Structure 1
Amino acid sequence: MRSFVSVSSLLLLLSFSSSVLSDNQYFQKLPVPGNRTGPEAFAFDSTGKGFYTGVSGGKILKWLPGKGYVDFAQITGSSKSSLCDGALGTVNAGKCGRPAGIAFNGKTGDLYVSDAPLGLHVISSGGGLAKKIADSVNGKPFLFLDGLDIDPTTGVVYFTSFSSTFGPRDVLKAVATKDSTGKLFKYDPSKKVVTVLMEGLSGSAGCAVSSDGSFVLVSQFTKSNIKRYWIKGSKAGTSEDFTNSVSSPDNIKRIGSSGNFWVASVVNSATGPTNPSAVKVRSDGKVLQTIPFKDKFGDTLVSEVNEFNGKIYIGALFGPFAGILKV
């Protein structure tokens, strides 16, 4: 119940209200089965067919055109139990798991998952039960993991924590108090070590590595800001502001090797009005395009915009569906 109240309060804080979604010939809505919610992020394997997404209750689902959703993996042994079926939002997340960011290592076929309360996990190409990699660093629990991406040139995993003070059930408090204890982490599979790259982030919801592996972008949801952390070059190990032009940015995803990124934007300001949209930004932070989703998603909190094979896949943090939009 606390989770439901927190979610409702957050929606109120950001001036959300219920509305009916409308479909048209360019937009396809994909309801999540099994009374689960929140297809928050997407990953695509080497076959180029369908997508993978994590939902409430700790499951990773695979969606295939013409077939729909099928079970692929689970974060814990309880994720397939009756306890976790119908677990909305973060209800029972401590036992079931709540997958947030996900991404494939294109060379190994492994799927990496940042589970909000339970830590960093990896799933083999065959699916099944996830293997926990880490739930803390330097003796400090992660508490609230969120975004995740993999360097396409090295296979190194980058992931974020929304807060190091509040857990996912207390996301309202993190936003309302403008908590700034978020972090950016790095996990090197060859060394099996997690390190902290950035601290003092305010609602670090998403991250994305550039196609050449030279930098990683990190969103600050609460500050309506995106930071750039340099991985290579003369600025390696330093960070700078990338853009302040995207309101309440959530997940960030690179668009192939174009050098551009899609950012999921939630609201116009800290108090609304609601305007879920996709914002395309260039590698220098300039906004190239904005696609509003209000007519298709209503006031649903959009969590990710991910372009693949000429289509945009749209995630929802609390909603019971994902969306596909032709571009």
Structure 2
Amino acid sequence: MASFVFVISLLLLSLSSAVFSDDASFQKLPVPGMRSGPESFAFDPTGKGFYTGVSGGKILKYTPENGFVDFAQMTKSSNSKWCNGALGTAFAGKCGRPSGIALNSKTGDLYVADAPLGLHVISPAGGLATKIADSLDGKPFKFLDGLDVDPTTGVVYFTSFSSKFGPREVLIAVGLKDASGKLFKYDPATKTVTQLMEGLSGAAGCAVSSDGSFVLVSEFIKSNIKRYWITGPKAGTSEDFSNLVSNPDNIRRSASTGNFWVASVVNKVVVPTDPKAVKIDSNGQVLQTISLNNEFGNTLLSEVNELNGHLYIGTLTGSFAGIMKL
């Protein structure tokens, strides 16, 4: 089954690479070399570019002047010939596969949820990532996915898509409607990892509210979004937040409005369809839906992130990142 998943990843990659848009408001940014899956974005606090993780265990930095350049790597092996040519989740256990990333704008530290290798941090200078944790209470994370940093406290929240299946077994997890996903937090002040939620069905993304009062967690398999309260009278409890977004992946906070962007697809047996960017408010109501069929086709959309009137759009298997003017 693992090899089947890899074949499907290659198929999706070829499909996404063949998609072209005539929309002048959309720009494709091809990732260099034999790499794929610019899955998530973190913006440089100076406004000069963004970071993204790709297959083979590399973190790239993009600026309009220089394009994509290598910024960091998850393991020492990430610079090897094997890892530089790795697609999808091939050799992920050796090379790493960055999934969710987010920046602490106060310290400049870049936090990375590496799907098979655990939670990591990268200094502002880049280079080799430092592992923070790959297990809790002796139980390996198995399949990390989404990540966000609380803008008020610097606490890191991250998800595990599944506690039973690894990233190369994602189709099995989806097919069996796995519900072993979890939400964790890491406190840099105490250097401790704590489990906050369990029993999540494909915990893909997470996003902290602008005021730090709650964190949203998407359940990709269940087409649901939950809210976990961080502060206030409901602190430490969770509730259903919205079921209006089909197969939600990463959730990203819009710093300017306090709303959230969600990457959405309609999950089919093999190929995802109908990729959309969906904006929701702090009550879970849909404010805006943007179809991305022309730009991404049958690609597993992973993230929609807003900055300065543009959407930065990532995929799990595609060979490019997209920028769309709102």
What's the TM-score once normalised by structure 1's chain length?
0.95
Q: Percent identity?
A: 72
**Displacement after TM superposition at 1:25 (Å):** 1.0
1:281 & 1:270 partners in 2: Cα distance? Answer: 27
Q: What is the match of residue 241 of structure 1? A: 240
Q: What is the match of residue 317 of structure 2? A: 318
Change (3 A) 1:95 1:23: farther
**Displacement after TM superposition at 1:23 (Å):** 3.8
Q: What is the match of residue 258 of structure 1? A: 257
1:270 & 1:256 partners in 2: Cα distance? Answer: 35
Residue ranges of structure 1 left out of the alignment (5+ in a row): none
Larger mean CA deviation between 271-280 and 53-62 belongs to 271-280
SS in 2 for 1:196: strand
The answer to whether the 8 Å contact 1:211/1:257 transfers is no
**Displacement after TM superposition at 1:277 (Å):** 0.6
The answer to whether the 8 Å contact 2:26/2:324 transfers is yes
Q: What is the match of residue 135 of structure 1? A: 134
Instruction: Letter of the 1:97 partner, please give it.
Output: G
1:108 & 1:69 partners in 2: Cα distance? Answer: 23
**Pairing of 1:1-327 with structure 2 (within 5 A):** 3=2, 5-9=4-8, 20-267=19-266, 274-327=273-326
**Displacement after TM superposition at 1:5 (Å):** 2.0
Instruction: Letter of the 2:147 partner, please give it.
Output: L
CA offsets 1:25-64 (integer angstroms, 9 cap, x no match): 1000011101100000000121111110000000000000
2:169 & 2:308 partners in 1: Cα distance? Answer: 37
**Displacement after TM superposition at 1:21 (Å):** 2.4
What's the TM-score once normalised by structure 2's chain length?
0.95
Change (3 A) 1:209 1:259: same
SS in 2 for 1:303: strand
1:7 & 1:273 partners in 2: Cα distance? Answer: 15
The answer to whether the 8 Å contact 1:3/1:90 transfers is no
The answer to whether the 8 Å contact 2:201/2:221 transfers is yes
2:8 & 2:33 partners in 1: Cα distance? Answer: 25
The answer to whether the 8 Å contact 1:181/1:202 transfers is yes
CA RMSD, Structure 1 to Structure 2 (Å):
1.9
1:212 & 1:161 partners in 2: Cα distance? Answer: 24
The answer to whether the 8 Å contact 1:3/1:91 transfers is no
Change (3 A) 1:32 1:66: same
CA offsets 1:89-133 (integer angstroms, 9 cap, x no match): 010001100000000111110000000000000000000000000
1:25 & 1:213 partners in 2: Cα distance? Answer: 37
1:242 & 1:11 partners in 2: Cα distance? Answer: 34
**Displacement after TM superposition at 1:24 (Å):** 2.4
